[in-house]
Amino acid sequence: GENVEQHPSTLSVQEGDSAVIKCTYSDSASNYFPWYKQELGKRPQLIIDIRSNVGEKKDQRIAVTLNKTAKHFSLHITETQPEDSAVYFCAASISGYSTLTFGKGTMLLVSP
Amino acid sequence: GAVVSQHPSRVICKSGTSVKIECRSLDFQATTMFWYRQFPKQSLMLMATSNEGSKATYEQGVEKDKFLINHASLTLSTLTVTSAHPEDSSFYICSARGLGQPEDIQYFGAGTRLSVL
C-alpha cells in the first residue's frame, strides 16, 4: 500500500518568514495530493491540493509543488503569520474514490 | 465548502458501555464516509471506509465487532464503539465525499473526543 513520509515533524519560524514542509510517497500510481491544516482540537481543513498533471499550484501565500519523478511534494507558506500556527498534514491517493494516506503531520509554530 | 456535522463532540463514559457517534453530510449526499482515529500529536489513522448501503471495509488491525459502522443513508453514518475500555479513549473523526462535490476531496467532521473511565 501507499506510504507517505512527512518532514519536519516540528517547524518554528518567525512571523514573516517562509515555511516549507516536505512529503514523499511510495506508490507511483498516486495522483492526488491534498494538504490539510488542523488547529488544536479541531477538524482538518483542506487548504490546497494538487493533481499529478501539474507541477505547481498557488493560492495567495500558499503554494504546493510536485515532482512525480522523485515522488515528492512540498507545501510552501510565505509571509507566515501567527494564525498559520497549526498541524499540517499531507496526503496521497489514487484518484477515483480511493482512500487518503496521511503523513504524520508537521506542527508549525509562527512566533510574532 | 461542504459541511459535515459530527456528534457528540465529547463523550465521557464508564468502561463496558457502548458509545454511538454520528456523522452527517448536511448539504451533499455522501456516497462514501471514512472513520479515523487520532491519538494526541499523531496523524489520522483510517479505521474503515463505508459506502452507503453496503458493509464497511475495515483497515487491518481494526476489530469490526468492536467498532460497528452503519451507513444506512446518503447523509448519515454512525460509528458505535461497543463495550468501550480505557484504551479506546481517543479522538474519532469522520469525513465524507460524494455527489456534487469535487472528486477525491474529503470533508471532515469536527471530531468526537471519547474518554472511557
Say how many C-beta atoms besides its own lie within 10 A of residue A88's C-beta. 23
CA distance A112 to chain B (A): 23
Q: Examine the pLDDT at B1 and tell me if it is beyond 70.
A: no
Q: Examine the pLDDT at A110 and tell me if it is beyond 90.
A: yes
Long-range residue pairs from A95-100, CB within 8 A, at least 24 positions apart, any chain: A95/A31, A95/A32, A95/A51, A95/B103, A95/B104, A96/B103, A96/B104, A97/B31, A97/B32, A97/B97, A97/B103, A97/B104, A99/B34, A99/B46, A99/B49, A100/A34, A100/B34, A100/B46, A100/B106
How many interchain CB pairs under 8 A, A with B?
A: 53
Q: In the predicted model, what is the mean pLDDT of residues A10-30?
A: 97
Nearest alpha carbon to residue B30 among B58, B71, B69, B70: B71
Q: Examine the pLDDT at B101 and tell me if it is beyond 80.
A: no
Share of chain A above pLDDT 70, in %: 98
Q: pLDDT tens-digit profile of A72-81?
A: 999 999 999 9
Residues in chain A whose Cβ is within 8 Å of chain B: 32, 34, 36, 41-46, 49, 89, 93, 95-97, 99-105, 107
The residue with cell 504546493 is: A64
User: Chain A contact for B105, CB < 8 A?
Assistant: yes
Q: How many CA atoms lie within 13 A of A33 on its CB side?
A: 36
Chain-chain contact of A43 with B110 (C-beta, under 8 angstroms):
yes
Q: pLDDT tens-digit profile of B32-48?
A: 999 999 988 888 999 99
Chain-chain contact of B46 with A99 (C-beta, under 8 angstroms):
yes
User: Chain A contact for B98, CB < 8 A?
Assistant: no
What is the structure's pLDDT at B11?
97
User: Taking CB atoms and an 8 Å cutoff, what residues of chain B touch A89?
Assistant: 43-44
What is the structure's pLDDT at A64?
98
